[in-house]
Structure 1
Amino acid sequence: MTDRLLDAFLGAVGDLAPIAVWAHGSLAGGDYQEGRSDLDLIAVLEGPVGLSTVRRVVRLHRGLRKLGPLAAKVHCSYLTPGTTADADRSHLTWAHDRLMRRPVTPVTRRELHAFGLVLHGKPPEGLLPPVPDAELRAFVVRDQREFWRPSVDKARLWKQDIWVDLGMVTFARASVTLRDGRLISKREALDLLPELGAPVEVVEDIGRRRYGDDVPGSDAWLVRRAELTRAFLGPAIDRLVADRWD
């Protein structure tokens, strides 16, 4: 089904005459789980991205819905050659079944250079500036300190699977990037989390839902899982983003 969906997307986006279409994330990194992983894509258009292009992008993604619920997993940011250099710039993006604007982060850019999958046209090296190590580290620290650490204090969020999963995995991946300067998959992050002191029950819960049976937890477990996750992540992030990483 994933191949069929990608073929349909490439056929539809072909009407916009893209210079390149790339995959990153789990699909490019070899850890893709159909129905659970997002399909993370980048399309580089000749430009400019005006109102007409925006309307065509909306029609494109809405048209994919006829292929079933997996179409909601297609996330694509639309860049132009003149907008690729600025990592802080927000780009037209279709994600979570709606239109938005968001940056293509230094982590995504590094993924594209390290193991991006070319689905059409030119490779990332020809269009996307490389990400210096210092820029990558600075972004990872900022993301942990300014987004994830304040989020840990919002207890209402942490009964949701997506917050637990992304919070824990992103922390493990950030730890390796800051320590070794490399990117790891979600599978590698899960394997690493117990070594970082993460509660094993929570790690096993994430693994079951990503790689095994997605059985809903009881209300009591969701409350306990949230408490365990927050108790671990708060101090762990504080240690990770100590001044030595500034």
Structure 2
Amino acid sequence: MIDEAVQSLLGGFVTSVRSVAAVEAVWLHGSLALGDYQLGRSDLDVIAVVSSPAPAAVADVHRELISKDPLADKLHCSYMLTSQLAELSAPHPTFAQGRYFERPVTPVTRRELVIGNRTLHGPAPAELLPAVSDDELFAFIRRDLRDFWLPAAQKREPWYHDIWVDLGLLTTARAHVTLATGDLITKRAAFDVLPRLGAPADVVEDIRRRRYGPDEVKTGPWWRHTRAGLARRFVRTAIPALLS
């Protein structure tokens, strides 16, 4: 069940964006769709389907919402043209992390949309979005691991940041399950997988406390340095094993 504050924000977003763009449908994906949303910690991941190119005014909608509600800073939305729904590599205008840019809607996101089936406006995802095959899903995950995460694990600086540690380990665990079974699992479920992959227990617990613990966790410099090395070493080892 979605928190009342989130429902209010999403309702206001749908109303506002429909006033400036030709919106056919609005869908949720990510933690909101899969039941793993954490208020104030998780992103609000949204897809808007538009029948004509989204105008620059949609960025103004996001910025106005952020000025009124800090929670809106985590509301990220890609605007997909109906004519490009079948094109996996097509870039779509996206507002996320306070920026307006273009990026594709990945096969993982497309599969999440259909599985989660959370519609805020218009037809459901399965009615408009062409199905993603397992081969397309697996190929994307393998490319993401090989071309993004494995090179990233060769660098030092990013791994001093919480987000890289979190996503590096959780993405690896989720990829393991999807490549083995075809299923998509939540970040929370990934914690049960990480020990089987040999993830360092202290780092796994650190991620769990920060994502799901009741209190904010502050990371000291010694642990941040130690954690960075452990996380990088795990990713450098686990990904080649998955790809083999």
- TM-score of the aligned structures, taking structure 1 as reference length: 0.94
- Residue of structure 2 equivalent to 1:30: 35
- Residue of structure 1 equivalent to 2:132: 131
**Post-superposition CA distance 1:173-231 (Å, at most 9, x none):** 00000000110000001221112110110011001011112211110000000111111
Q: 2:223 aligns with which of 202, 221, 234?
A: 221
Quick check: 1:62 aligned with 2:66? no
- In 1: Cα distance, 2:125 partner to 2:10 partner: 19
Compute the displacement of 1:54 (Å): 2.7
- In 2: Cα distance, 1:128 partner to 1:23 partner: 13
- Residue of structure 2 equivalent to 1:241: 243
Runs of 4+ in 1 over 2 A off after TM superposition: none
Higher mean C-alpha displacement, 160-169 vs 59-68: 59-68
Alignment of 1:150-161 (within 5 A): 150-161=151-162
Q: Which runs of 5+ in 2 are unaligned?
A: none
Q: 1:10 aligns with which of 14, 24, 44?
A: 14
**Post-superposition CA distance 1:18-40 (Å, at most 9, x none):** 11000000001000001110000
- In 1: Cα distance, 2:211 partner to 2:55 partner: 33
Read off the aligned partner of 1:228 and give its amino acid letter: L
% same residue: 52
- In 1: Cα distance, 2:147 partner to 2:56 partner: 34
Compute the displacement of 1:66 (Å): 2.7
Is the partner of 1:99 in helix, strand or coil?
A: strand
Is the 8 Å Cα contact of residues 39 and 73 (structure 1) preserved in structure 2?
Answer: yes
Compute the displacement of 1:105 (Å): 0.2
**Post-superposition CA distance 1:93-151 (Å, at most 9, x none):** 00001101000000000111111311110111121110001110010000000000000
Q: 2:51 aligns with which of 24, 36, 46?
A: 46
Is the 8 Å Cα contact of residues 5 and 67 (structure 1) preserved in structure 2?
Answer: no
Is the partner of 1:130 in helix, strand or coil?
A: coil
- In 1: Cα distance, 2:229 partner to 2:118 partner: 38
Is the partner of 2:55 in helix, strand or coil?
A: helix
Read off the aligned partner of 2:236 and give its amino acid letter: G
- Residue of structure 2 equivalent to 1:192: 193
- In 2: Cα distance, 1:71 partner to 1:115 partner: 21
RMSD: 1.0
Read off the aligned partner of 2:41 and give its amino acid letter: R
- TM-score of the aligned structures, taking structure 2 as reference length: 0.95
